[in-house]
Structure 1
Amino acid sequence: MDTALTRSQLVTWRAAIFAIFLSCGLGFATWASRLPAVKTLLGADDLDIGILLFVMGASSIVGLSLANVVVARWGARRGLLGGFIVFATGILIVGYGTEFAQSFVVTAVGLGLMGLGMSATDVMMNVEAAAVEQAFERTLMPLFHAFFSIGTVVGAGVGIGMAAWGIGVAPHLWIVGILVLIVGIVSVRLLPRRHDLHDDDGPTRTRRERFRELAVVWRDPRTYAIGAIMLGMSFAEGSASDWLTIAVVDGHAASEAIGALALTVFSVAMTLFRVIGGPLVDRFGRVWTLRVLAVTAGAGLVLFILAPNLPLAFVGVALWGAGASLGFPLGMSAAADDPRRAAASVSAAATIGYVAFLCGPPVLGWISNQIGILNTLWVIVGLIVMSGLASGAAKPIAGSTVGAGHTEER
């Protein structure tokens, strides 16, 4: 453990990061859960909604790129606080823009701020989470990401309730936006100040040295290999979120309710393995865990594609979700092995991984239009194989014991 902090301080630090992940998932799912109502209030068509989603996605890329600059300039604590303020402000503006102004432009501005704030916060909270891992000398990143998933489930459930009770979009988003801001402020105040995250004014590297490191990580082959791990598994995760229900309905001739049930099975399997993933990694090592889960995800997806009946297809969905669960969080953990370059490396790897979330859906949609949805999923199988082959890049660097596993020499 980090001897500079007491056990109580370490536990408080970990709890604060759990809260940050949970609140980010809650804020994101809150917007997504009210999308049908937003569409109605704005009088928008599918193209308009696509433009709004593109604005949010594009601003997310900007936020990812700026996050490491913010950490280098102001430190992770102040950067996280700023990210939460921008994210929460965006949520509040979206609420106002949809229900009161009923303005497409105002809503787009709000979504732009949401994307910018959440993606920058995403990088910095993963950098902090990796620092917590190093302090505890245990793999905790999957559990942190499980809290994000739990936040999305809570956000979606509350959204369903709000819609059923006839609560407007603006009051709903304003309550959640204020809650996210309060949680962010309290959590950030509980984070310790650290030299390696540039949070204090003690002796450390000059800002010029910090900014130089931002360019260095893009010349490191390991960055791209870790990015390949995250790219493949992000496609595996994102393709389920966007296309699984359609694949069940159109590919396996099931009802929409069965399609929704399949997505629930996928989400539960993914969340469950993120909860138990840390001990698995600490036992078998980051590399072997990723390899086994790549095989699991690939086999599950193949079974889903070829399944002659729905029960087998659901088994495939469960394996697919379990296998795809740890690629992104363990990629983040691997990128942050070196505390001196954690922010820059996480930002770079996350940028590669997020390409899958942002570009994957339209690409898969175009391919599906040509060859059908089940045949399109073979593309994902190929990307999962790529991710598995690149898993060796996740081996902990010298000096880092997190993710090494008990079966490897330390």
Structure 2
Amino acid sequence: METTIIQHNIGKNARIATNALFFLCGISFASWASRIPDMKELLHLSDAALGTVLFAMPIGSLTALPMAGVIIHKFGSKKITLFAVFFYFISLPLLGLSANPINLGISLFIFGFGSDLLNIAMNVQAVGVEKLQKRSIMSSFHAVFSIGFMLGAALGGIIAKQGISTFQHLATIGSIDLLIGLISFSYLLQNDHKSDENQPLFAIPDKSLIILGIICFCGMLCEGAMADWSVLYYKQIMDNSNGFATAGFTAFSVLMVVGRIFGDKILQALGLRKTLLINCLLVFVGMSIAIFIPSPFTVIIGFGITGLGLSTIVPLIYSEAGHSKTMAAGVALAAISTLGIAGFLIGPVMIGYLSEFFSLKIALASLIILGLLGSFLTTKIPE
């Protein structure tokens, strides 16, 4: 009985600490995203040039990806989370100090490297907390990430409107990140959950996992595109220079939080296929409204619906992958996570080049197609 109480307390504290990591990850990325228009204007970058510079972040993430699993296995996710947060502390102020595209690219590389380390390490912690509490709570972690993301987006618009420099803004966020990381460190799980050694490390994914991986890629691609380009769309295309340029992005973030809060109940009522189908259709409807009915009000509504649609795609797919019958749970989750991260990082770059050759409006219209593709793929998921 006493052992059970101790484990419960350890799990409770670890859950709070892990939630803090998800929160700082969300607020940090949104804070940077909210200042992209300012950096674009400061450095006089075209859409294509901005897309090229933004590509430094996925390069940083992809550089970290092959070594992240090895160093987390060797040193443990607890130590690596603090190591990754230190990268945030350094890279965020550097982003605000960037005086040319090269400096910005280097800073984004460091930011991307640290982001990928933190993403993998904190998800390993989340899996360990789930094992201790013996129930699925992954959606709650993603909800906390979205709350941080939403807060970062809203504060970013207010801070920018007050004339506070990008450096002051991001340096403050980086300092808060380090403080949260240091406090959380003591309460994280010391030992990571180990997969069953009898399960195969390498196996051919079944049809269901392949389809889920593609849907995850499409969903995260949309998220990445919205994170980096929705503010610019609302500011430039809608010519809303006198209002809050982050209004649409904030609506997107708020509805994403709402969707993740109620996602588990919706899943229980409708099942995986129907829930994912509704998610993808909402992306299609939301982006269609934002693109084809262009006004400040409808763009806010469209972005909000899109956020609601994207809200539970990743948590649902992560949960389903964890129950794969052909691959070890950890391997399946790693494969899905890799596809998702790739989509999240490719999205902004893709939109940048499409915008340069066509227009930002047409570039964002590509997300409508992804919503339709995801809807089609959900009908192919085996019962």
Q: TM-score scaled to structure 2, two decimals?
A: 0.78
Structure 1 residues 311-350: Cα deviation after superposition (integer angstroms, max 9, x where no partner): 8887665443322211122223334458x95554433222
Aligned to 1:220, which of 205, 208, 226? 205
1:177 aligns with 2:174: yes
Q: Could you say if the C-alpha distance between residues 33 and 376 of structure 1 is closer, same or farther in structure 2, counting changes exceeding 3 Å? A: closer
2:55 maps to 1:83: no
Residue 373 (structure 2) aligns with: 383
Residue 55 and residue 238 in structure 1: after superposition, are their counterparts in 2 closer, same or farther (change >3 A)?
Answer: closer
Q: Is the 8 A contact 1:300 1:316 kept in 2?
A: yes
Paired with 1:150 and 1:379, the residues of 2 have a C-alpha distance of: 27
Q: Which amino acid aligns with 1:84?
A: V
Q: Which moved more, 1:119-128 or 1:279-288?
A: 279-288
Do 1:139 and 1:282's aligned partners in 2 also have CA atoms closer than 8 Å? no
Contact 1:240 1:263 in 2 (8 A): yes
The residue identity in structure 2 corresponding to 1:328 is V
Q: Deviations over 1:98-118 (max 9, x none)?
A: 3xxx46544433221110111
Task: Give the match for residue 398 of structure 1.
Answer: none
Alignment partners' CA distance in 2, 1:103 and 1:307 = 36
Give the CA deviation at 1:40: 5.7
Alignment of 1:300-339 (within 5 A): 300-301=286-287, 318-337=304-323
Q: Which moved more, 1:232-241 or 1:325-334?
A: 232-241
Using the alignment, how far apart are the partners of 1:321 and 1:64 within structure 2? 27
* Cα distance in 2 between the residues matched to 1:330 and 1:108: 34
State the Cα deviation string for residues 206-256 of structure 1 (Å, max 9, x = none).
xxx99x83xx26x43465333112112224434544666788899xx9664
Aligned-partner SS, 2:193: helix
Query: Is the 2:218–2:374 Cα contact (8 Å) retained in structure 1?
Result: yes
Residue in 2 that maps onto 1:70 = 71
Please say if 1:147 is aligned against 2:134: no
AA partner of residue 55 (structure 1):
A
Whether the aligned pair in 2 keeps the contact of 1:66 and 1:120 (CA below 8 Å) is no
Q: 1:88, 1:180 within 8 Å by CA — same for their partners in 2?
A: yes
What TM-score, normalized by structure 1, do the two folds share?
0.74
8 Å CA contact 2:231, 2:249 repeated in 1: yes
Return the letter of the residue paired with 2:116.
S
2:15 corresponds in structure 1 to 14
Match of 1:201 in 2: none
Percent identical pairs in the alignment equals: 27
Structure 1 stretches of 5 or more lacking a match?
Answer: 199-203, 396-410
Q: Displacement, 1:155?
A: 2.3
Distance 1:57 1:361, change over 3 A: same
Gaps of 5+ in 2: none
Distance 1:307 1:127, change over 3 A: same
Letter matched to residue 17 of structure 1: T
| Inter-CA distance 302–175: structure 2 relative to 1 (3 Å threshold) | closer
Given residue 388 of structure 1, which amino acid in structure 2 is its aligned partner? Answer: T
Partner of 1:355: 342
- Asked whether the 8 Å contact 1:64–1:347 carries over to 2, the reply is no
Total equivalences in the alignment? 372
1:81-160 equivalences in 2 (<5 Å): 81-95=82-96, 97-98=97-98, 102=99, 104-160=101-157
CA distance in 2, matches of 1:163, 1:292: 35
